[in-house]
Structure 1
Amino acid sequence: MKPLVLYRVDLRAGDPASALERLDPAAPLLTGTDLAATRGDGVFETVVLVDGVPQAMEAHLDRFERSASLLELPSPDRVLWRTVVERVAAEMDVSRGAVKYILSRGDEATGEPTGWALGFAPTRHRTGVPPELDVVLLDRGYRSDVATTAPWLLQGAKTLSYAVNMAALREAGRRGASDVIFVSSDGYILEGPNSTVIARIDGEYVTPPVEFGILPGTTQADAFEALREGGDRVAVRALTVSDLSDADALWLCSSTRGAAPVRSLDGVAQHVDHATTERISAFLNARKG
């Protein structure tokens, strides 16, 4: 990741225009007692930019609000955060980039929440052509009903606490793979560490329900829209490991990669549908916000 643009966001400012302070990306940003750094206590979103246009902005703001609510953080000001993303995007001189924006519970000494936004150019996936992925299944260790039975575990919130997700990706690397699909302890397909699953089964494109404690997929939602426009059937329903074995194509969807096809699952080669991948990618890359 090459950082290009950094803004600190003053959450106390009444006017969005006066809330933004441009910083050198290498300059100090947080205090040593900010809970984002000491406890990972905060939420974030990453919006992809195509030719300077933020993609799926409203869906990302919806998820940002949902995550903040789950963590009992102050409700984000949508006008402010939209302004932040648009300001960063306007200063990015790349054909394909991204803006990560963060809301932290803030400095534990003052109790004041903190916010910032970082515009960057991904070191990979710059062309809008998604990579083919080698994926392994890993047990997440929670039942599929964890979001309702144990809401304090914050499943379904996009938090800064990514240590487990990064550990899962390292485990994938040890197994000769590049990504992960988590499975619940009661045998249901969940999501990737930073992606949403789509499986094509008997001609129908299926993604797991958010009630299983997974993030609402912004890219997956737009991928489904592309498929609907093409006359394909889509559905949200439970998937098991055996369902994935029956699928004739799989994708992992994320903002920076798009809909990336899975070429192997637990070492078993999977069919890669290049035509459908290209159709979804063309739709995603043509979005105007």
Structure 2
Amino acid sequence: MNQRQSSERQLVAVIGRGVVPTDEPFIYADDLGLTRGDGCFDATVVFASTARGGASDSSDSADGPGAQGTHEREVLHLDRHIDRLGRSASALQLNGPEPREWADLVAAALASRHAPTVESMLKLVLERGREDHDGGPVGYLTVTPLPDSSFAERRGIAVASMSGGRTADAFADAPWLLGGVKTIAYATNLAAKREAQSRGAADALFVSTDGYALEAPTAALIVRLGDELVTTPTGPTGVLASITAATLFEAAQAEGLTCTHRLMRMEEVHDSDGAWLVSSVRGIAPVQRLDDREVAFDDAWHQRITALAGFPPP
């Protein structure tokens, strides 16, 4: 256990109950989220006030945008993550809490004296609930201090490419495959990360069977080609609509950069002017090595991309 986690404990809060003791059970053994992976989640970072120097217009604080306080915490793009959770729930035909209920639970959790004061991961989870039971879905959240590895990855990672086992358009006209839905069934994603680690890399990059770069198990791919930023399109690819990539592109376009959603061959990624794996928890991780090849890295561009995405300097 690292130093951050040794002094700061995870916090748990449940819809309809509020903050609960971390070691208090609230999920039954027959919950379909546990037994079938039938549920969805979303996650983002909670900045400590010292990490960003106060609230900003692009984030929500525990007491509302612009609030001030000794233990002020900022949740990055909370509304967007709640909205995406709602879309995932709709795809699963789950009748979950209203957005306001999630926002209120987050506010209560971060206002708790037990909330971590360091940079943390906020995870919102919605599970189907008990099998053959009328209790309905279970919604809860956790706030967990980030491990040291998350901060190290913002300075650079090695990535191993591997087959995603599908063509780049495998999810076209097949909504039952749940492409782009952030389900809690992440066994394949975690297996890919373990495979990457066995190859001496920190993370994986899925490649379609027809040769296109897709996404990482828990992050989107951003590639720089001169003054153009490119990311994988969603829809038929089944790639998750990345909130970090979307907000980064919005800020980049406001600065006059060209931002494109299109498929990229692996050779294009290898020969790019820079590549990043981006997510709302990890932040902006520059790819320094992809398989057995070095990837171009420009520190000025890395600083710029990080700032455009709303993260503190690495």
Give the TM-score normalised by structure 2: 0.82
Q: In the alignment, what sits opposite 1:8? A: 14
Do the aligned residues in 1 keep the contact of 2:97 with 2:139 (CA within 8 Å)? Answer: no
Counterparts of 1:144-155 in structure 2 under 5 Å? 144-155=168-179
Do the aligned residues in 2 keep the contact of 1:125 with 1:131 (CA within 8 Å)? Answer: no
Q: Report whether the alignment pairs 1:196 with 2:217.
A: no
User: Matched residues in 2 for 1:123 and 1:164: separation?
Assistant: 22
Q: In the alignment, what sits opposite 1:72? A: 93
Deviation for aligned residue 1:73: 1.2
Q: In the alignment, what sits opposite 2:279? A: 254
The residue matched to 1:67 in structure 2 has which SS?
helix
Change (3 A) 1:88 1:126: farther
Counterparts of 1:152-171 in structure 2 under 5 Å? 152-171=176-195
Which of the numbers 84, 108, 131 marks the counterpart of 1:108?
Answer: 131
Query: Amino acid of the residue matched to residue 94 of structure 1?
Result: T
Which of the numbers 97, 105, 108 marks the counterpart of 1:84?
Answer: 105
Do the aligned residues in 2 keep the contact of 1:50 with 1:285 (CA within 8 Å)? Answer: no
Change (3 A) 1:136 1:275: same
Q: In the alignment, what sits opposite 1:15? A: none
Q: In the alignment, what sits opposite 2:263? A: 238
Deviation for aligned residue 1:148: 2.1
Do the aligned residues in 2 keep the contact of 1:195 with 1:254 (CA within 8 Å)? Answer: yes
Which of the numbers 272, 275, 285 marks the counterpart of 2:311?
Answer: 285
In the alignment of these two chains, the number of paired residues is 277
What RMSD over aligned residues (CA atoms) do the two structures have, in Å?
Answer: 2.0
Do the aligned residues in 1 keep the contact of 2:96 with 2:137 (CA within 8 Å)? Answer: no
Change (3 A) 1:93 1:171: closer
Q: Give the gaps of 5 or more residues in structure 2.
A: 49-72
Change (3 A) 1:101 1:219: same
Q: Report whether the alignment pairs 1:183 with 2:207.
A: yes
Query: Amino acid of the residue matched to residue 232 of structure 1?
Result: L
User: Matched residues in 1 for 2:21 and 2:82: separation?
Assistant: 26
82-91 or 245-254: which moved more? 82-91
Deviation for aligned residue 1:262: 0.1
Do the aligned residues in 1 keep the contact of 2:19 with 2:108 (CA within 8 Å)? Answer: no
Q: In the alignment, what sits opposite 1:53? A: 74
172-181 or 119-128: which moved more? 119-128
Give the TM-score normalised by structure 1: 0.89
Q: In the alignment, what sits opposite 1:25? A: 22
Do the aligned residues in 1 keep the contact of 2:214 with 2:221 (CA within 8 Å)? Answer: yes
The residue matched to 1:117 in structure 2 has which SS?
strand
